[in-house]
Structure 1
Amino acid sequence: MANFKTHLTGGFAVSGVLGLITYKAGLVDAQQFLMCVLAGTVGGLLPDIDSDNSTPIKMGFDFVSLATAFALVIHWRSELSLVSMILLWLAGYGFVRYGVFAIFTRLTVHRGIIHSVPYMLVLALGLTCLNFYIFDIPAIISWFYGSFLLLGSLVHLGLDEAYSVDLLNRRLKRSSGTAMKFYQDSQRYYYLGLYTILLIFIFISPPFEPFFEKLTDPITWWVLKDEILPQVLMRNI
């Protein structure tokens, strides 16, 4: 399978190019463009969070542990002494970084249910709903963020499948078919729960029609063509 650097570069490159196109077409502003690229890059690393020793899982748990520790201290700052705050910070960090991490790694298997298309769809829709309902971000922009997260994760899964093909010996490696999957019979009950969650997210997700209409509006892409075509013609003269 592809390594961390390849996944990071692939997710960033694809989301960066498509983000620039989206930005140039006027679909997002500068800040939203950066958030789309960030979402796509993070998505390019997400499928490997089920690997106990992978860089994404270590970075992710370090970030979540620090965020949890600081959130606890900020929440209880007015009721605790300095020493108590330090102890609370250490307890919060240690609980997430070592306790939750140990449980998570025991419950997950590399290239298991997390390393699948429906799981990435759940995460993408979850991000879309989070932005729309919690952060009060417009539906169209929320869908852009979720779509870029999904895009980056699909780049990751596609790269892993591509690396499972040995072109020199013209054969498929044992890992072929384990990356971009929709179902695994050995985890049928987990997949049943996963698809149930996916249906729930589809049902509660923000309106999709405005996002789809914006993407398929010919005027959007005519404006982009008017920007690019003259530059191409000038270079050929």
Structure 2
Amino acid sequence: MANFNTHLNVAFMVSGTLSLTVYKAGLIDDSGFLVCVALGTIGGLLPDLDSDNSTPIKLGFDITSFVFAFGLVMHWRSDLSLLALIALWLAGYGFMRYVIFHIFTTMTVHRGVIHSVPYMAILGLGLTCLSYYGLHLPLTTSWFYGLFLFGGAMVHLLLDELYSVNLSNMKMKRSSGTAMKFYQQKDKWWYLLLYVLIALLIYFAPPVTEFWQQLRNPEPWAQLKVGILPALLEDYLR
């Protein structure tokens, strides 16, 4: 499979290119451009959350543990003494970083249900719904956020599948087919749950027809075509 740096760099380049494209087309604003790049890059690391020793899972739990401990201290800052707050900080961080981390890694298997297309689709659709209904962001922006997270994850899965091909003698490695998967018989009940969740998220998702009409509108793409080449090069070609 591809290593951490490969996943990170490729996801960043793909998401950066696509984000810049929709930004120049006027479909997202300045902050939306930055968020889409970040979400696409994060999506490129998400499938490895089920790997006990992967950099994404360790980094993710480090950040989550810090945020959790910080939240506890901020909530109780007016009611507890300094020593009690320090103890709460350490206890909160240790609970998330070691207890919850141990439970999570025990319950998950690398390249299991998490490392699949439907699981990533749930994360993408979930982010779209959260952005639209929870954060009250514009419909187009909400869909782009979900799509960039999902797209980054697809880049990750595609890279893993490409790395499962032994190009020297054009043979498939044993890992072939274990990355970009839609179903596994051994986890049939988990996959049934995933597809039920996908159906529910699609039902409650923001109107996709309106988003699709926005993408089919020729005006943004005409605007992109005008500025696709530097002015000096356009003058030369003329």
Structure 1 unpaired stretches of 5+: none
Which residue identity is paired with 1:143? W
Which residue identity is paired with 1:130? L
Residue of structure 2 in register with 1:70 after alignment: 70
1:134: Cα distance to partner? 1.8
Identity rate, percent: 58
Aligned residues: 237
1:230: Cα distance to partner? 7.1
> Is structure 2 residue 13 aligned with structure 1 residue 9?
no
Deviations 1:152-209 (A, max 9, x none): 0000000000000011111000000000000000100111111111111111112222
Q: Take 1:229 and 1:37, find their aligned partners in 2: how far apart are those partners?
A: 22
Residue of structure 1 in register with 2:137 after alignment: 137
1:212 is paired with a residue whose SS is: helix
Which residue identity is paired with 2:29? D
1:3: Cα distance to partner? 0.2
Deviations 1:122-179 (A, max 9, x none): 0011111111122221221111111100110000000000000011111000000000
Q: Take 2:91 and 2:140, find their aligned partners in 1: how far apart are those partners?
A: 40
1:227: Cα distance to partner? 1.6
Structure 2 counterparts to residues 31-50 of structure 1, below 5 A? 31-50=31-50
Residue of structure 1 in register with 2:235 after alignment: 234
How well do the aligned residues superpose, as a CA RMSD in angstroms? Answer: 1.3
> Is structure 2 residue 199 aligned with structure 1 residue 202?
no
Structure 2 unpaired stretches of 5+: none
Q: Take 1:97 and 1:150, find their aligned partners in 2: how far apart are those partners?
A: 26
**Structure 2 CA distance for partners of 1:230 and 1:105, relative to 1, 3 Å:** closer
Which residue identity is paired with 1:10? V
Residue of structure 2 in register with 1:103 after alignment: 103
Q: Take 1:122 and 1:75, find their aligned partners in 2: how far apart are those partners?
A: 31
Which residue identity is paired with 1:117? V
1:78: Cα distance to partner? 1.6
Residue of structure 1 in register with 2:174 after alignment: 174
TM-score by length of 1: 0.96
Structure 1's consecutive aligned runs of 4 or more residues displaced over 6 angstroms after TM superposition are none
TM-score by length of 2: 0.96
Contact 2:39-2:145 within 8 A present in 1 as well: yes
1:210: Cα distance to partner? 2.2
Q: Take 2:52 and 2:104, find their aligned partners in 1: how far apart are those partners?
A: 9
Deviations 1:19-67 (A, max 9, x none): 1101101111111100000000000000001000000000000011001
Q: Take 1:29 and 1:235, find their aligned partners in 2: how far apart are those partners?
A: 31
Which residue identity is paired with 1:194? L
Residue of structure 2 in register with 1:154 after alignment: 154
Structure 2 counterparts to residues 83-98 of structure 1, below 5 A? 83-98=83-98
1:18: Cα distance to partner? 0.5
Contact 2:22-2:28 within 8 A present in 1 as well: yes
Residue of structure 2 in register with 1:81 after alignment: 81
